[in-house]
Structure 1
Amino acid sequence: MKSIKRIWNSFKIAFSMYSRIPMPRSEWTDENKSYAMCFFPWIGAVIGLLSYGVFRFSKWFDGNGGGNYSLFFVIFLILIPVFITGGIHLDGFLDTQDALSSWQTKERRLEILKDSHAGAFAIISCTVYFLMYIGVYSCLSVRSMEVIAYSFMLSRTLSGLSVVTFPQARKKGMVADFSESASTRITRMVLGIYLIVLCFLIPLTGGICGIGCVISAGVVFGYYYRMAMKNFGGVTGDLCGYFLQVCELVMALVVVVVDIVVKSGIIK
């Protein structure tokens, strides 16, 4: 009974911390946080389901005399993850862009990550990021959207694995806090199971588009580790957010490009 309560509390903490979805209150203790990372990918599942539902509705709406509101639905789809998460990962992406663009020492970069002010590079990166997303989502098909719906869970599974496997850049902070309180062996096992299932399910659903999605996620994950170790000496909460945002954009880009190439007949 105590284990069930701990799991339930971990679920509530994961959704309270990484989403804006209302949850019952739970005490912020190490015991209650022990399995929180196991539920982090579930937020991605919510985003994926909602995104896919909105996409199918937009197709139905356009096909039933609702008018051409493609751009509206594209922008709405892009903003769904921001609405669900409250922008917590986007904040990490912007902070990391400022830190990387500073070309300072590791110590100074870590200080920049904690700076609450947005620099010029963060603003430029944010603009480019959303413009790229508009371009990618403007080319969505049913098959590519089916794959992208899974990608939100895949990105969070990999991000969660980095929390419990990569070295920490700081002894204190969100990632260090979750890493220390996590039941590491169980969390790694659960996230590993998620990863295996997703790496099987995504290609099964999307064919070559799904394969491209999984491979691109692996490439970005490798880049993330190298970048974090080289520039910061480990991972932080901001870097996890940076990885998640970059990974999702790259996966979407690869899926859409592969889908277009397949439709053109170059790859069958």
Structure 2
Amino acid sequence: MASGFLVLISFFTRIPIGNKIEYNEESFKKALSLYSLMGVIIGIILFIVAIIGSLFRFDYVMGLLLTMCYTIVTGGLHFDGAADTCDGLFSGRTGDRIFEIMSDSHVGAFGVLCLIFVVLSQFVLFSNIGIFACFIMPIVGRTSVIVSSWNKKYAKKSKGMGTVFIESINTEVLIINILILTICCIIIPNKILMIIASVVTLISAYLISNWIEKKIGGMTGDTCGFITEICQIIFMFSVILLQELI
């Protein structure tokens, strides 16, 4: 599981872990129980950057630093998936044509709009949330992917890494990842607020994945990237909204 977890980090982040990590499908499957733990590592990095950013006079400096940091650490991997998903799902096409659009290396109008929305939202929301919400945000994002992939099948006819990921999310993997998120929320200040915002986000992830399933018959690697980015925005927005209400 440890080697599989390192494979997860090497695939889904740009965190340097050495060149001797080899992909093993069985280890990869086992490590999916720790998928949210990868969000903990990203969250710690964002937490440190948030502390540094909070030393500056303007909140937007922190927002810019965090947006840049998140993009660098993840390599923009989920941005690409989010853009491809929007191009395909909002194209007005059906069937295999949607997958053809999603697989196209060119970014369409909906993809560009999606990228603008995601990056701008991150910048604004990062500028207005606390350092502990910055820590929880990537954990919620990765747990959302697990929730959205649970009880789903891989939508494309061709098999790939996304097939292994999506079709390996069983109830045990789901519970362990949610447990990791819950523990992380409990050990920080404003735990009730974080838990409520996390629950809202996970419910949103499940509902969005059901909508995607109706459109294309399941989930893909691109739609997982879309879920990650959208749900992180939902979480940060929920935190800000709850802070005003509570």
Identity among equivalent pairs (%): 26
Please state how far the C-alpha of 1:208 moved relative to its aligned partner. Answer: 4.6
C-alpha separation in 1, matches of 2:23 and 2:181: 30
> TM-score, normalised on structure 2?
0.87
What does 1:32-51 align with in structure 2 at a 5 Å threshold?
A: 32-51=27-46
Gaps of 5+ in 2: none
- Contact map agreement 2:37 2:180 (CA 8 A) in 1: no
- Contact map agreement 1:173 1:237 (CA 8 A) in 2: no
C-alpha separation in 2, matches of 1:178 and 1:135: 32
Please state how far the C-alpha of 1:224 moved relative to its aligned partner. Answer: 2.1
> TM-score, normalised on structure 1?
0.81
- Contact map agreement 1:89 1:244 (CA 8 A) in 2: yes
User: Residue 215 in 1 paired to residue 199 in 2?
Assistant: yes
Query: Are residues 173 and 190 of structure 1, via their aligned partners in 2, closer, same or farther at CA, if it must alter by over 3 Å?
Result: closer
Question: What residue is the counterpart of 1:116 in the other structure?
Answer: 105
Query: Are residues 151 and 93 of structure 1, via their aligned partners in 2, closer, same or farther at CA, if it must alter by over 3 Å?
Result: same
Q: Write 1 or 2 for the structure with the bigger share of helix.
A: 1
Question: What residue is the counterpart of 1:3 in the other structure?
Answer: none
What does 1:201-240 align with in structure 2 at a 5 Å threshold?
A: 201-202=184-185, 205-240=189-224
What does 1:43-122 align with in structure 2 at a 5 Å threshold?
A: 43-59=38-54, 61-62=55-56, 68-122=57-111
What whole-Å deviation, never above 9, does each CA across 1:171-207 have from its counterpart, x for those lacking one?
4132113356x5x65xx42441230352365267424
- Tell me which structure has the larger Cα radius of gyration: 1
Question: What residue is the counterpart of 2:237 in the other structure?
Answer: 253
C-alpha separation in 1, matches of 2:127 and 2:137: 17
C-alpha separation in 2, matches of 1:106 and 1:213: 35
C-alpha separation in 2, matches of 1:219 and 1:163: 13
CA RMSD of aligned residues (A): 2.3
Please state how far the C-alpha of 1:154 moved relative to its aligned partner. Answer: 2.4
C-alpha separation in 1, matches of 2:50 and 2:233: 17
Deviates more, 1:80-89 or 1:242-251: 80-89
Question: What residue is the counterpart of 2:162 in the other structure?
Answer: 175
Please state how far the C-alpha of 1:148 moved relative to its aligned partner. Answer: 3.8
Question: What residue is the counterpart of 1:18 in the other structure?
Answer: 12
Please state how far the C-alpha of 1:255 moved relative to its aligned partner. Answer: 0.3
Q: Secondary structure at the match of 1:165?
A: coil
Q: Secondary structure at the match of 1:257?
A: helix
Query: Are residues 43 and 81 of structure 1, via their aligned partners in 2, closer, same or farther at CA, if it must alter by over 3 Å?
Result: farther
C-alpha separation in 1, matches of 2:149 and 2:197: 22
C-alpha separation in 2, matches of 1:256 and 1:179: 31
